[in-house]
Amino acid sequence: MKSLKLILGSIYLFVFGYKILYNNLSIPKQIKQFTAIVADSGDYETIAQYKPQDATTNPSLISAAARKTPISCYDDEAIA
């Protein structure tokens, strides 16, 4: 994102034909004003950080995220 902000050093950012003010809002927050944010990730922290409207259900991504993130609380809920 840092490199994107450097490239977009102008006052306005054009997204899908809409002119939006490039101010203190982050690029994802500005884009979220005009379009839907969708996460293509199984990483729970990333999904929580960006609060997308939808997320993937790709089993390989969920499996990869489960191996690196402790999700024991989810396992307990699923078993009960």
Other C-beta atoms lying within 10 Å of the C-beta of residue 33: 10
Q: Model-level pTM greater than 0.85? A: no
Integer CA distances (angstroms), 62 to 4, 22, 57, in order: 28, 34, 7
Domain ranges of the chain: 2-32, 38-79
The two beta strands, 12-15 and 54-55, are unpaired
Residue 25: per-residue pLDDT:
65
Residue 8: per-residue pLDDT:
45
pLDDT mean by block of 10 residues, the chain; 80 residues: 42 51 65 78 78 78 73 55
Residue 1: per-residue pLDDT:
43
